[in-house]
Structure 1
Amino acid sequence: MIRIKKFVFLILCFIQFGVTFSQSTEILGKVTASSDIDRIHVINKTAHKFTITNDNGEFLISASVNDTILISAIQYKPLEMVMTTQIIQSKFVAIDLTDKITELDEVVVGKILTGDLLSDIENSEVKRELNFYDLGIPGYTGKQKTQSERRLHEATSGGGLVPLTPILNWLSGRTKKLKGQIVRENNDNAMREVMSDLSEMLFDIDNLEESKRVEFFYFVTDDPNFLPLSKLDNDIKMLEFLQQKLKEFKSQIEDD
C-alpha cells in the first residue's frame, strides 16, 4: 500500500513538473546598453511572439521554458537567449547589449584644418554645385517628382480658356493610366523598404522558403491596406499585418 502511494505521488509530481515546464508566463525584461534602449525588437522565435522595448528599455513577452528569445537592434549585436526554469520562475530577465562596431577604412588627411570654418572651406577643394539662384532663374525647391509624377502633372495641366490637354488625356484614359503607374511605383518603393527592414525578423518568426519570398511581398502589396499602413512608420503594426498575410499566402499555396 505504501509503495502504491509513493508511486501515485511520483506520478503527480511529474504531472505538476510537466505543467510548469510547458506553461507560458509573462516575462518582464530590462535591456541595458550604451545608448538608445527604446524600440529594440524582442522576438520569441519559438512561440512566434514579438514586442519592442519602451523608453526605459523594458518589455513584456510571453515565454515558456526552453523558448528562444532574440533581441535585435541595428546599433547592437543580436543576442539570443534560452528561457531557463529560473527565469520563468522569477518572471524577470536582464539583458546587456553590446555595440555593433563597424571598422572604417584608414582615413588620409590632406590639407591641414585650422579650425576657422570659412578659411577651411576656402582652402578645401570642395566646390558647391551651381543652382538656379546662382544663374538668376526661377526654380523648384520642393520634393523632386518622379518621371511618372511629372508626366501626370503635364497630362492634367494646360492653359487657355478651355484647357484641352487635360480633357483629351482624361477621355483617352492616359490620366488614369498614369495615376495607376504612380500607385504601383509607390507600392514597389514601400515594398522594398519593408523587405529591407522587416523580412529577416518576419521569417525568423515564421519561416518561408526563400524562392517564395519575393512572390509573397508582391502578394502583400495587392492588399489595399498595405500602402496606407506603410506610411504610418509603425513596425509592430506592419509586422502583425505581414504575419497575417503570410498565413493567407501559405494557405493559398496549399490550396493551389
Structure 2
Amino acid sequence: MSPSATAFRIRSALCILLLFTLSLQGKVYAQESPLPARQLSGRVTEQEEGIPDMHIINLTSGDATISNAGGYFSIDASLLDTLLFSAVQYKRKMLIIRQEHLEAGLLLVPVEPFVNELDEVVLRPYNLSGDLDKDLENLPVEETVSSISLGLPNAYVKVKTQTERKLFEATTGSGLIPLNPIINGISGRTKMLKKRLARDRSYEKARRTWLLYPDSLLLKQLVIPDDRLEDFKYFCEVDPAFETLTDNGDQLKLWAFFRRKSQDYRKFNALD
C-alpha cells in the first residue's frame, strides 16, 4: 500500500472517531439537561366524587399543593417526577409522571379510603370486646336515681336559668292591673333582661358548638397559636354566619367555615 493511501485511511479513521465522540457527548448532555416543568392539572376522586384537602407533593422538585373543595389541583411537574397524594383518611398513593400524564387535559387520580382494622381485644373486668351492640347487652348497668326514676311531680319540667327566672318575675304579676310588668317595662328592666337572656343563650350555643371541635384540632389543623385561640373563637362568633351554621347543625359546613375564618384570621394578624 502506498504512503498516500495509508495516510488517507488514518485521516478517515480519525474523522469517524471524532464524530462518534461528539455524538456521545451530545447524548450525555441531553441526558443531564433537566426537562422543563409543565403545569399539571388534575382531580383526586373516590368513586367519581372529588376529594378536598388532599396533599399533593412533588417529591422530585419539592413543590406541593392541596386539592380544592371539588378535588381539583394544579402543580408543576416534569417527565418522570414522582407525585405523592396523602390525606389522613385515605391510603397514600405514588404516581410517576409519564408523557401521557403531561399530555392529558385533566389527570384523574382515584384514591382509596384508609381503614385501620385492629385485632379484637377483651377489656377486663367487664369483658368488653369493642362491639358496642354486644357490649351494651352484656354490661351491667345500675339504674340512675333521679327525680324521673323516683316518679316525683314536675320531674320533666325544665329548670329555668337565673336570667329566665328574673325575666319571668319581671313580666308577671297579680291583681286586676298587674303593676310589676308595667313598672319593669317603663324602667327598661324587661328589655335589659331580654337582651341578657338572648346573650346567655347565644353564649351557651357557642359553648356547645366549640365542644365538638377540641382545641388541639384547632391548633394543628387551622394553625392557630395557643395564645390566640380564644381571640380566634370570638373572631368566628361575631360573624353572622356562625349563628346560622350552629342553628343548622351541619358540622361539615361549620368546619369549612372555620377553615375560611382561620385563613382570614392569620392574614389579618400576619401569622403566615
TM range (shorter): 0.5 to 0.7
Matched residues in 1 for 2:220 and 2:235: separation? 18
SS at match of 1:23: strand
TM-score (norm 2): 0.55
| Alpha-carbon offset, residue 127 of structure 1 | 4.3
Aligned residues: 210
Q: Larger C-alpha radius of gyration, 1 or 2?
A: 2
Aligned pair partner of 1:177 in 179, 196, 213: 196
Matched residues in 1 for 2:249 and 2:68: separation? 17
TM-score (norm 1): 0.58
Q: Does 1:158 align with 2:169?
A: no
Matched residues in 2 for 1:108 and 1:27: separation? 44
Matched residues in 2 for 1:166 and 1:24: separation? 68
Which structure would you say has the larger RCO, counting Cα contacts within 8 Å and 6 or more residues apart? Answer: 1
- 1:99-138 aligned within 5 A: 99=117, 105-108=123-126, 126-127=142-143, 129=145, 131=147, 134=150, 137-138=153-154
Quickly say closer, same or farther: Cα 1:47–1:130, change in 2 above 3 A. same
Aligned pair partner of 1:233 in 230, 243, 249: 249
SS at match of 2:45: strand
| Alpha-carbon offset, residue 219 of structure 1 | 1.3
CA-based RMSD: 4.6
Q: Does 1:140 align with 2:150?
A: no
Matched residues in 2 for 1:103 and 1:221: separation? 43
| Alpha-carbon offset, residue 8 of structure 1 | 11
Q: Which letter does structure 2 place at the counterpart of 1:69?
A: S
Q: Give the structure 1 partner of residue 54 of structure 2.
A: 44
Q: Does 1:66 align with 2:98?
A: no
Q: Does 1:14 align with 2:14?
A: no
| Alpha-carbon offset, residue 191 of structure 1 | 2.7
Structure 1 runs not aligned, ≥5 long: 31-37, 52-58, 73-78, 110-119
| Alpha-carbon offset, residue 25 of structure 1 | 0.7
| Alpha-carbon offset, residue 198 of structure 1 | 5.9
Structure 2 runs not aligned, ≥5 long: 1-21, 56-63, 76-81, 102-106, 128-137
Matched residues in 1 for 2:91 and 2:160: separation? 42
CA contact (8 A) 1:220 1:242 kept: yes
SS at match of 1:43: coil
Quickly say closer, same or farther: Cα 1:136–1:93, change in 2 above 3 A. closer
SS at match of 1:66: strand
| Alpha-carbon offset, residue 129 of structure 1 | 2.6
Q: Give the structure 1 partner of residue 261 of structure 2.
A: 245
Q: Which letter does structure 1 place at the counterpart of 2:88?
A: I
Q: Give the structure 2 partner of residue 81 of structure 1.
A: 92
| Alpha-carbon offset, residue 23 of structure 1 | 1.6
Deviation string 1:166-207 (CA, Å, 9 cap, x unpaired) is 44445222332232222222223223324469636742xxx3
Quickly say closer, same or farther: Cα 1:235–1:175, change in 2 above 3 A. closer
Aligned pair partner of 1:191 in 173, 196, 210: 210
CA contact (8 A) 2:41 2:74 kept: yes
Identity across the alignment (%) = 13
CA contact (8 A) 2:53 2:71 kept: no
Quickly say closer, same or farther: Cα 1:178–1:93, change in 2 above 3 A. closer
Q: Which letter does structure 1 place at the counterpart of 2:200?
A: Q
| Alpha-carbon offset, residue 70 of structure 1 | 1.2
Q: Give the structure 1 partner of residue 240 of structure 2.
A: 224
